[in-house]
Amino acid sequence: MSGADPIEVPARISGKPCRILAGTGLIARTGELCRQAGFGGACAVITDENVGPIHAPAAQESLERAGYAAQVLAVPAGETSKCMAAAENLCDRMIAAGLDRGSFVVALGGGVVGDLAGFVAAIYYRGIPFAQIPTTIVAQVDSAVGGKTGVNARAGKNLIGAFHQPRLVLADTATLSTLPGREYREGFAEVIKHAAIRDASMLDALDPDTPRESLAPLVARNIAIKADIVAQDEREETGLRALLNFGHTVAHAIENVAGYGRFLHGEAVSLGICAALEISARKFGLPATGAARVRAKLSAYGLPLTLPADIATDDLLAAARRDKKFAAGRIRFVVVPRLGEALVADDVTEDDIRRAIESLRE
Catalytic positions are 126, 148, 190, 226, 236, 241, 245, 248, 252, 265
Question: 3-class secondary structure for the chain?
Answer: CCCCCCEEECCEECCEECEEEEECCCHHHHHHHHHHCCCCCCEEEEEECCCHHHHHHHHHHHHHHCCCCEEEEEECCCHHHCCHHHHHHHHHHHHHCCCCCCCEEEEEECHHHHHHHHHHHHHHHHCCCEEEEECCHHHHHHHCCCCEEEEEECCEEEEEEEECCCCEEEEEHHHHHHCCHHHHHHCHHHHHHHHHHCCCCHHHHCCCCCCHHHCHHHHHHHHHHHHHHHHHCCCCCCCCHHHHHCCHHHHHHHHHHHCCCCCCHHHHHHHHHHHHHHHHHHHHCCCHHHHHHHHHHHHHCCCCCCCCCCCCHHHHHHHHHCCCCEECCEECEEEEEECCEEEEECCCCHHHHHHHHHHCCC
